[in-house]
Amino acid sequence: MTRYKINNLEEYFKDYKKSVREPKKFWDKIASENFTWYQEWEKVVDFNMAEADIKWFVNAKVNMTKNCIDRHLAKKGDKTAIIFEPNDPSEEALHISYTELHERVCKMANVLREQGVQKGDRVCIYLPMIPELAITTLACARIGAVHSVVFAGFSASAVAARINDSDCKMIITSDGGYRGNKTIDLKGIIDEALADTPCVTAVLVVKRTNSAVNMQEGRDQWLQPLLDAASDNNTAEIMDAEDPLFILYTSGSTGKPKGMVHTTAGYMVYAAYTFKNVFSYEDNDIFWCTADIGWITGHSYILYGPLLNGATTVIFEGVPSYPDYSRFWEVIVKHKVTQFYTAPTAIRALAKESLDYVQKYQLDTLKVIGSVGEPINEEAWHWYNDHVGNKRCPIVDTWWQTETGGILISPLPFVTPTKPTYATLPLPGIQPVLMDEKRNEIEGNQVVGSLCIKFPWPGIARTIWGDHERYKETYFSAFPGKYFTGDGALRDEVGYYRITGRVDDVVIVSGHNLGTAPIEDAINEHPAVAESAIVGFPHDIKGNALYGFVILKETGEYRDRENLSKEINQQISNQIGPIAKLDKIQFVSGLPKTRSGKIMRRILRKIAEGDYSNFGDTSTLLNPEIVEEIKNGKV
């Protein structure tokens, strides 16, 4: 028997085995019993891993918002769907019921249609964490427009690149946003981006900060008057299972950001199923995920997963340090939060502050606490367990990626015994394997290797927008027939997985996935820079920070190094965003390169970490003498 909710370890093993032996039957049952469809599928799954061609629920017809909202109205119309907790704690929190959410999404959907947005069009959403972010995203899903939410911390040129890559015809933004004691001029950033985005013909602006903004006649419109004039009667678009639901950009180890495309039915089924099980969600729970909706964590576990289950989800506009470091705990008490899901970088930052901040609060409504985004170190795990979960709430260390759509490896609370720093066991439907350098599967336990998944699951991204070749190349070529995650992992004696980190040129800084290549590109555009290389090094709070090795052009040699460093960071901030700034910059006369011209990053990583014990084999280096020089000049 397959059940929607797994209740104990025996049921987990039964369902897991079934999902491997009979994946079609397994997902057929989950999908047909827990969602509403206009028409069911002809085939559960159809795939060719070599071509990276994957389809789930073939030819089924469905609408995401029908499942997130409409079907709950009869029984749960008055239930709170969204609790909005503003940045400023003295501003009143909002409770948006399912009925009200339905009304607001329908109006917004009508506005989009009236503005000429049609099924299949791309809409860029660049908003702070306010209810309109959820409502506009859902409105796109309702009319079949493909949303591309861009985190409102990205710079103008980063937004412009994302808008152009997917040819968005509309941008939805706000006059500004609040973050702690700062006000951010979002419309100003968008105005700058719009100088380079010829595809955009309409801009809708939400009022949040009442800041003075520039409104360009014929292009920019305030959203509210359009909503006021719109009808709340809207018929949802009938979507094919494989119609794209959204694009979400993630950085890669090379070149431009990858627009990961998630389609409708598979993503829906997977987000809902994983939400229910990983957070052990029950009716009347209050779920709070602290991520931003601009990341996949927010898409799947602030918006879609909770709403699909008819849950109450918290949208928090602020930051953990404002007005002080007790904000998270205060919000948990205020809204009686039962599941709390955050990132190791936030946990480490809070653990550094006085314990009084957390001990003042009785966090006894909490049942489950979660972690996501990067490996959680042992110290942070224990602090979280001792002071937030009070050794009473299971910690779900959830491993997944933008590309996977939902959580793949995680304990199930009250089901899987947890183990600090381990994401533990795969969810039903997920078949992880560890691979060695010769591309062989490593059998048995107590082994390490590159983490791959050998069978598709409904939530996997289907392609990279406009570049299927790159999708194939990035994820399906290193280990033929398998999806390669880019992560390394260890499997312990009982089969639990521990994710050890990226094995490619991606560095995770404060939970943000940063490719080194685009940052190097940004640095190299500085007129005084000839070449650069970026590596990560361990950082107490951020997990990793960035260390840049920079070679100057002759003209740069005469310039003040401190000013140059500032300019380089400014350049990065302008092109990518402040999250990608370097913590350390070292000016060098050369970089360790192999005879084929590849930078030996492994050596730079060791130097950045301050570990000079063993640089490994340096015999293939063209310029071995540079290693000593760089080491001596370490900052």
Establish if 485 lies at the interface with ligand WT7 (CB under 6 A): yes
Q: Could you give the C-alpha distances from 426 to 276, 305, 433, in angstroms and in order?
A: 15, 18, 10
Return d(Cα 609, Cα 628) in angstroms, integer: 15
Q: Could you give the C-alpha distances from 192 to 85, 140, 157, 186, 304, in angstroms and in order?
A: 30, 24, 8, 10, 31
Instruction: Name, in order, each residue with C-beta under 8 angstroms of 12's C-beta and a sequence gap of 6 or more.
Output: 6, 412, 415, 416, 425, 428
Nearest residue (CB) to ligand WT7, 281 versus 400: 400
Establish if 400 lies at the interface with ligand WT7 (CB under 6 A): yes
Nearest residue (CB) to ligand WT7, 112 versus 407: 407
Nearest residue (CB) to ligand WT7, 81 versus 368: 368
Instruction: Name, in order, each residue with C-beta under 8 angstroms of 102's C-beta and a sequence gap of 6 or more.
Output: 69, 70, 73
Return d(Cα 132, Cα 564) in angstroms, integer: 40
Q: Which of residues 18-47 bind ligand WT7 (CB under 6 A)?
A: none
SS3 4: coil
Q: Rounded to the nearest whole angstrom, what is the least distance from the CB of residue 331 to ligand WT7 in the complex?
A: 21
Return d(Cα 168, Cα 189) in angstroms, integer: 17
Q: Rounded to the nearest whole angstrom, what is the least distance from the CB of residue 504 to ligand WT7 in the complex?
A: 9
* Binding piece for ligand WT7, criterion CB under 6 A, among 51-59, 399-407, 441-449, 539-547: 399-407
Q: Give the burial string for 552-579 (b: 16+ CB within 10 Å, else e).
A: beeebeeeeeeebbebbbebbebbbbeb
Q: Dihedral sign for Cα 400, 405, 410, 413, please.
A: positive
Backbone region of residue 448 per phi and psi (left: phi > 0; alpha: psi in -120 to 50; beta: other values): beta
Q: Which of residues 414-433 bind ligand WT7 (CB under 6 A)?
A: 423
Q: Which of 502, 581, 601, 606 binds ligand WT7 (CB under 6 A)?
A: 502
Q: Which of 263, 264, 402, 424 binds ligand WT7 (CB under 6 A)?
A: 402
Q: Rounded to the nearest whole angstrom, what is the least distance from the CB of residue 297 to ligand WT7 in the complex?
A: 5
Return d(Cα 148, Cα 248) in angstroms, integer: 6
Establish if 513 lies at the interface with ligand WT7 (CB under 6 A): yes
Nearest residue (CB) to ligand WT7, 253 versus 574: 253
Q: Which of residues 228-257 bind ligand WT7 (CB under 6 A)?
A: 250
Task: Tell me the number of residues near ligand WT7 by CB under 6 A.
Answer: 22
Tokens of 420: 């600090």
Q: Rounded to the nearest whole angstrom, what is the least distance from the CB of residue 567 to ligand WT7 in the complex?
A: 28
Nearest residue (CB) to ligand WT7, 417 versus 633: 417
* Binding piece for ligand WT7, criterion CB under 6 A, among 186-194, 204-212, 400-408, 442-450: 400-408
**Type and span of the H or E element at 46:** strand 43-48
Establish if 487 lies at the interface with ligand WT7 (CB under 6 A): yes
Which residue bears the tokens 């398998």?
A: 482
Q: Rounded to the nearest whole angstrom, what is the least distance from the CB of residue 513 to ligand WT7 in the complex?
A: 3
Q: Which of 165, 374, 504, 520 binds ligand WT7 (CB under 6 A)?
A: 374
Q: Rounded to the nearest whole angstrom, what is the least distance from the CB of residue 514 to ligand WT7 in the complex?
A: 9
Return d(Cα 110, Cα 377) in angstroms, integer: 47
Q: Which of residues 334-373 bind ligand WT7 (CB under 6 A)?
A: 371-373
SS3 422: coil
* Binding piece for ligand WT7, criterion CB under 6 A, among 6-14, 202-210, 228-236, 395-403: 395-403
Q: Rounded to the nearest whole angstrom, what is the least distance from the CB of residue 393 to ligand WT7 in the complex?
A: 17
Return d(Cα 599, Cα 75) in angstroms, integer: 61
Establish if 277 lies at the interface with ligand WT7 (CB under 6 A): no
Q: Rounded to the nearest whole angstrom, what is the least distance from the CB of residue 376 to ligand WT7 in the complex?
A: 7
How many CA atoms are closer than 13 Å to the CA of 10, on its beta-carbon side? 1
Backbone angles phi, psi at 119, to 5 degrees: -45, 130
Instruction: Name, in order, each residue with C-beta under 8 angstroms of 471's C-beta and a sequence gap of 6 or more.
Output: 52, 258, 461, 463, 464
Nearest residue (CB) to ligand WT7, 60 versus 409: 409
Backbone angles phi, psi at 98, to 5 degrees: -60, -40
* Binding piece for ligand WT7, criterion CB under 6 A, among 31-39, 130-138, 427-435, 480-488: 480-488
Q: Rounded to the nearest whole angstrom, what is the least distance from the CB of residue 190 to ligand WT7 in the complex?
A: 23
Nearest residue (CB) to ligand WT7, 329 versus 399: 399
Q: Which of 105, 508, 572, 603 binds ligand WT7 (CB under 6 A)?
A: 508
Establish if 544 lies at the interface with ligand WT7 (CB under 6 A): no
Question: Per this entry, what is the length of the chain?
Answer: 635
Q: Which of 398, 424, 450, 474 binds ligand WT7 (CB under 6 A)?
A: 398
Establish if 486 lies at the interface with ligand WT7 (CB under 6 A): yes
Q: Rounded to the nearest whole angstrom, what is the least distance from the CB of residue 51 to ligand WT7 in the complex?
A: 23
Q: Which of 166, 401, 474, 516 binds ligand WT7 (CB under 6 A)?
A: 401
Return d(Cα 594, Cα 497) in angstroms, integer: 34
The DSSP letter of residue 409 is B
Q: Rounded to the nearest whole angstrom, what is the least distance from the CB of residue 500 to ligand WT7 in the complex?
A: 8
Establish if 516 lies at the interface with ligand WT7 (CB under 6 A): no
Return d(Cα 332, Cα 146) in angstroms, integer: 33
Q: Rounded to the nearest whole angstrom, what is the least distance from the CB of residue 274 to ligand WT7 in the complex?
A: 11
Nearest residue (CB) to ligand WT7, 64 versus 271: 271
Q: Rounded to the nearest whole angstrom, what is the least distance from the CB of residue 370 to ligand WT7 in the complex?
A: 9
Question: Is 451 within 8 Å of 503 (Cβ atoms)?
Answer: no
Establish if 460 lies at the interface with ligand WT7 (CB under 6 A): no
Nearest residue (CB) to ligand WT7, 154 versus 399: 399
Q: Which of residues 295-314 bind ligand WT7 (CB under 6 A)?
A: 296-297
Residue whose C-alpha is closest to residue 485's, from 465, 500, 466, 467? 500
Instruction: Name, in order, each residue with C-beta under 8 angstroms of 396's C-beta and a sequence gap of 6 or more.
Output: 278, 279, 341, 368, 369, 370, 371, 410, 411, 412, 413, 418
Q: Which of 175, 220, 397, 504 binds ligand WT7 (CB under 6 A)?
A: 397
Q: Which of 294, 318, 375, 405 binds ligand WT7 (CB under 6 A)?
A: 375
Establish if 576 lies at the interface with ligand WT7 (CB under 6 A): no
Q: Rounded to the nearest whole angstrom, what is the least distance from the CB of residue 486 to ligand WT7 in the complex?
A: 6
Q: From residue 191 to residue 230, what is the string marking binding to ligand WT7 with x (rule CB under 6 A)?
A: ----------------------------------------
Tokens of 225: 């008057």
Question: Is 171 within 8 Å of 145 (Cβ atoms)?
Answer: no
Q: Rounded to the nearest whole angstrom, what is the least distance from the CB of residue 469 to ligand WT7 in the complex?
A: 21
SS3 228: helix
Question: Is 37 within 8 Å of 61 (Cβ atoms)?
Answer: yes
Residues that bind ligand WT7 (CB under 6 A): 250, 296-297, 371-375, 397-402, 423, 485-487, 499, 502, 508, 513
